[in-house]
Structure 1
Amino acid sequence: MTHPTSAEIAARIEDLYGAPLGGLEAHAQDQPPGMLAALIASHNDLAFAEQSISFHRDRLLRLAHPDRSIGPHEVSHLLDCTRRLAEAVAVRDAQAKTVTAVLKSLGRTSAPKSPAASVPALPARPVPHASTAPSR
């Protein structure tokens, strides 16, 4: 299963909000937490997972290089690196799946032409008059 990369997610966020990601990050820091902040955090988590995958993949390739001998000490490093690589892949896949689902649920909306036009007024209900007569 292929998932979108952090670069593809960044492009979707930029398209949704109509601004570069760097500017959106700065804007989100000045605002109360909301959808933009959540999307940026998810993007950053996805990007970190991708970096972690690259790092551990490269380290695993170095550890398992054919010219290198593998003894008990190296095996523990190979196992640790493999475990960390598997964790990074699982995090990447989960982040990509989640942020993709959220982005699919959002869409650009056009601003309403006037506030009165967007919400119809409710008809006024008659207010019952309070009686001054004592109740029986």
Structure 2
Amino acid sequence: MPHLTSTEIAGRIEELYGAPLAALEAHAQDHPSGMLAALLGSHQDLAFAEQSIAFHRERLTRLVHPERQIGVHEVSHVVDCGRRLAEAVAVRDVQAKTVVAVLQSLGRVAQPAPVSVTVPAPAPPAPAASAPSR
């Protein structure tokens, strides 16, 4: 099964909580604990790993460009960039797998039925006490 991207994860979080991600993030700032905060944190970590993959892939592409000379100095940069790329891919895969497992274990809570407040009908007035007869 291919991993889900941070965009797909965001969509699933929005679907689960029934609100846009920006609103959920604002809510999580006020309530920093709980499942929502954990999911949003995992989403941010996944998005960062994806950005890191893109950055290191682009850097590695520039380092090994066919017209570029690769000497002893450049080899260490190529190896370092390859290592960082591999780490970012591993982090992305772990983050995606974990957040998908958590999302699959959760179900969207149905909106509670609106609570109707019924005011009891007023009791009929007590019969007026008759004045004592003389």
CA displacement at 1:22 relative to structure 2 = 0.7
In the alignment, structure 2 segments of 5+ residues that lack a partner are 115-134
User: How far 1:82 sits from its partner (Å)?
Assistant: 0.1
**Residue 25 of structure 1 pairs with residue 25 of structure 2:** yes
Aligned to 1:40: 40
Does residue 11 of structure 2 align to residue 11 of structure 1?
Answer: yes
AA aligned to 2:33 is P
**Gap regions ≥5 residues in structure 1:** 115-136
Matched pairs, number: 115
Aligned-partner SS, 1:11: helix
The secondary structure found in structure 2 opposite 1:65 is: coil
Q: Distance in 2 between matches of 1:93 and 1:18?
A: 26
SS in 1 for 2:22: helix
Q: Secondary structure at the match of 2:26?
A: helix
Q: Which has the larger radius of gyration?
A: 2
* TM-aligned CA distance change 1:22 to 1:62, over 3 Å: same
Amino acid at match of 1:66: P
Over the residues paired in the alignment, what is the CA RMSD in angstroms? 1.5
Q: Residue 56 of structure 1 corresponds to which residue in structure 2? A: 56
Amino acid at match of 2:8: E
Indicate the SS of the match to 1:4.
Answer: coil
One-letter identity of the residue aligned with 2:7: A
2:107 equivalent to 1:98: no
Alpha-carbon shift at residue 110 of structure 1 (Å): 2.0
AA aligned to 1:55 is F
Distance 1:51 1:32, change over 3 A: closer
Residue-by-residue CA offset, 1:31-74 (whole Å, 9 max, x unaligned): 14000000000000000000000000000000000000000000
Task: Write out per-residue CA displacement over residues 6-49 of structure 1, whole angstroms, 9 at most, x where no aligned residue.
Answer: 00000000000000101100001101400000000000000000
What residue in structure 2 maps to residue 71 of structure 1?
71
Superposed displacement of residue 109, structure 1: 1.9
Equivalents in 1 of 2:26, 2:32: separation in Å? 12
| Structure 1 length-normalised TM | 0.81
The TM-score, its normalising length taken from structure 2, stands at: 0.82
1:123 match? none
Which consecutive aligned stretches of 4+ in structure 1 deviate over 4 angstroms post-superposition? 111-114
